[in-house]
Amino acid sequence: MEVITTTLHSGGKFGGNAYAVSGGLHAVGLSAVNALSAHMVIEVAKDKKLYRQEYRQGKPVTAVEFIGAVSNRRGTSVSFIPDTEIFGDHVRFKPSTLYRMARTKAFLFRGVEVRWNCDAELITGDDKTPTEQILKFPNGIADYLDFLMKDRSSLTAKPFTGRIEFPNNAGAVEWAICWPDDFKDGFAYTYCNTVYTPLGGTHETGLRAGLTKSIRAYAEMTGNKKAGEINFPGKRNFFVADAR
């Protein structure tokens, strides 16, 4: 516990096959948060035992302590307070930003339940962020696309959705695509290992190229003489994709 919270690049991401999918540079974010916090506490419940350690400004102020036995808890909890010596006395989190991040993760990890809770005093002005909500979406990014479309109609009765697992644990790709039946602009949201990729990447380029090729092939099969002019996607499409 102390190593990964106080030492950069100390996680198991780069060796040992600890896990195949991750986002960010392992142990960098946690170590940075610790260094920028006036107070941080980590609790780990494992094998029905609870452990705890406290830190201040990146340094441990207690040893890893065994708190006691627990029978109905497992996993890790992290709580921290930003250091006002670094960020100033008026530092605060923006609830709407954190809520969107939590909701997006719930969409990308189908079936996972995220329990959102925010102090009502932090939600000010026109911010409509809920104070409490359970975020759980059994259909993953298909539910994400439905949420984004809201009341907009589509050219197809159902969106084009799917998921492919590559052999030899080489990863997977999941997608949800539709074409809005209106003249408003569409959007593309792509992710890699659940991390938003606003600048695209090979995962998005490959999806666009594959769809262009497929639509052109269908147009040629149906005798459309302008099939070669088809370019996907323009501003009429709307899709979400995640590569892992």
**Residues 104, 68 share a domain:** no
| Same domain, yes or no: 121 and 203 | no
The whole-chain average pLDDT of the chain stands at 86
Give dist(CA 122, CA 125) in Å, integer: 10
Q: What is the pLDDT of residue 236?
A: 47
Distance in angstroms between the alpha carbons of the first and the last residue of the chain: 27
Collect the ranges in the chain with pLDDT lower than 70.
9-27, 232-244
Residue 178: domain span: 141-243
- Beta strand 160-165 with 238-243: parallel, antiparallel or unpaired? unpaired
Instruction: Say how many domains are in the chain.
Output: 3
Given a contact cutoff of 8 angstroms between Cβ atoms, the answer to whether 102 and 116 are in contact is yes
Q: What residues have CB less than 8 Å from 140, skipping those under 6 apart? A: 107, 108, 109, 110, 111, 174
What is the CATH number for 155?
3.30.230.10
Q: Quick check: pTM over 0.75?
A: yes
Last residue of a domain, one of 71, 91, 111: 91
Residues 83 and 119 in one domain: no
Selection from 124, 133, 165, 170 nearest residue 20 by Cα: 170
Last residue of a domain, one of 106, 138, 170: 138
Residues 149 and 132 in one domain: no
- Do residues 147 and 236 both lie within one domain? yes
* Domain CATH code at residue 76: 3.30.565.10
Strand partners, 64: none
